[in-house]
């Protein structure tokens, strides 16, 4: 698709994936309205310092319906990435998490409906499957469950998006992500936790090392968003995007240690354990539908992506020293 001149709205634009998506859209010629978290501090996140004649920053809150109606009016497409994304934060702030991820999604859908957008791409998470049942990779037909406040709120948002398609004909397609990683990713996540501890010294404090995850590099994720926005005939579809192979947290730590050339002492830290009944122990993804509908496959292997991620954290640490 030729994005030149198209007015595109990105919510959560100052975040990890959102900022990479904004940069790609600008490189493709789009006019981008980038919604960042609006509070008294007006935080542009990873778009801080980014200046472009086709970029407009808009600070606001997903719970503000009038703000979203104004933001989305006249837009061609909307990429909805804005959300409370921290599982740990959701335990302490369940009401805010639900209001942002569920009601916020309803506000985006309603604004998109009124604006008659060509496509709304809604962002979901593999966390809604909880601790996946059975040995096979997870397909789009796998049962869902809210195993913590974050996943419950995201699942509610997914159903809102589906309802707007079925009830109002909103041209929404849902992208369900499996453990995106790369430069700018949240520092509270497992990869940055390992990297930052090893940058500080040879002691590595972790919780359970057995859970597995399929990590997907951010460039592959941005490809997925653009494909979902451009493809014909996928309105109402839910599509998985994730790497084929999963890795345990213990093996991930070992691989990062190898890349950083650090010999470390591993200390098991009980304070880093999640409640056992809400931990997701096994996560594997089937992305056959993404390949069939869109020709998507992950291009960046884990070690190559990790090297880019480690290098970014090393650079930012040096800049902040």
Active-site choice (42, 89, 129, 150): 150
- Mean pLDDT over 297-314 rounds to 97
Taking only the tens place, the pLDDT of each residue in 19-69 is: 999 999 999 999 999 999 876 556 789 999 899 999 999 999 999 999 999
Count of the separate structural domains present in the chain: 1
* pLDDT over 90, % of the chain: 79
Provide DSSP, 33-92: EEEEE-STT-B-GGGTT---TTEEEEEE-TT-HHHHHHHHTT-SEEEE--S---HHHHHH
Q: Which residues contact 69 (CB under 8 A, 6 or more apart)?
A: 110, 111, 114, 115
Task: Count other C-beta atoms under 10 Å from residue 232's C-beta.
Answer: 7
pLDDT of 321 > 50? The answer is no
Does residue 305 belong to any structural domain of this protein?
A: no
pLDDT for 277 equals 65
Residue 217 CA to residue 219 CA, distance in Å, equals: 6
Structural domain range at position 43: 7-180+216-244+284-299
Does residue 193 belong to any structural domain of this protein?
A: no
Asked if 194 contacts 256 with a C-beta cutoff of 8 angstroms, the reply is yes
Does residue 225 belong to any structural domain of this protein?
A: yes
Does residue 233 belong to any structural domain of this protein?
A: yes
pLDDT for 40 equals 52
Taking only the tens place, the pLDDT of each residue in 96-150 is: 999 999 999 999 999 999 999 999 999 999 989 887 666 578 999 999 999 899 9
Asked if 211 contacts 280 with a C-beta cutoff of 8 angstroms, the reply is yes
Total-model pTM: 0.93
- Summary mean pLDDT of the chain: 93
Q: At what angle do helices 149-168 and 104-115 cross, to 10 degrees?
A: 20
Does residue 133 belong to any structural domain of this protein?
A: yes
- Mean pLDDT over 237-252 rounds to 95
Does residue 113 belong to any structural domain of this protein?
A: yes
Return the CATH number at 44.
3.40.50.720
Phi, psi angles (nearest 5°) of residue 113: -65, -45
Q: Is 150 a catalytic residue?
A: yes
Taking only the tens place, the pLDDT of each residue in 230-240 is: 999 999 999 99
Does residue 174 belong to any structural domain of this protein?
A: yes
Does residue 34 belong to any structural domain of this protein?
A: yes
């Amino acid at each position: 698709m030729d994005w030149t001149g198209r007015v595109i709205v990105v919510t959560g634009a100052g975040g990890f994936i959102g900022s990479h998506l904004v940069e790609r859209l600008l490189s493709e010629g789009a006019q981008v309205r980038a919604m960042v978290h609006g509070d008294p501090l007006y935080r542009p996140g990873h778009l801080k310092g980014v200046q472009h004649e086709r970029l407009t920053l808009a600070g606001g809150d997903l719970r503000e319906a009038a703000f979203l109606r104004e933001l989305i009016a006249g837009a061609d497409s909307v990429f909805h990435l804005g959300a409370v994304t921290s599982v740990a934060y959701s335990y302490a702030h369940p009401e805010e998490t639900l209001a942002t991820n569920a009601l916020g999604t309803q506000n985006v859908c309603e604004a998109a409906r009124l604006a008659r957008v060509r496509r709304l791409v809604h962002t979901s998470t593999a966390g809604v499957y909880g601790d996946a049942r059975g040995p096979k990779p997870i397909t789009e037909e796998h049962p869902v469950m809210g195993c913590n406040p974050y996943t419950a709120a995201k699942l509610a948002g997914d159903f809102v998006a589906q309802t707007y398609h079925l009830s109002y004909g909103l041209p929404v397609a849902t992208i369900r992500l499996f453990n995106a990683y790369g430069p700018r990713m949240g520092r509270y996540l497992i990869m940055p936790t390992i990297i930052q501890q090893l940058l500080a010294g040879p002691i590595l404090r972790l919780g359970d090392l057995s859970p597995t995850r399929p990590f997907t590099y951010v460039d592959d994720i941005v490809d997925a968003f653009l494909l979902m926005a451009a493809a014909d005939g996928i309105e109402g579809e839910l599509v998985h995007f994730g790497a084929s192979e999963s890795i345990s947290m213990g093996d991930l730590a070992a691989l990062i240690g190898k890349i950083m050339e650090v010999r470390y002492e591993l200390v098991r830290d009980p304070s880093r354990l999640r409640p056992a009944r809400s931990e997701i122990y096994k996560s594997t993804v089937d992305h056959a539908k993404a390949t069939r509908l869109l020709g998507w496959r992950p291009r960046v292997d884990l070690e190559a992506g990790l090297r880019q991620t480690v290098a970014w954290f090393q650079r930012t640490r040096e800049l902040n020293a």
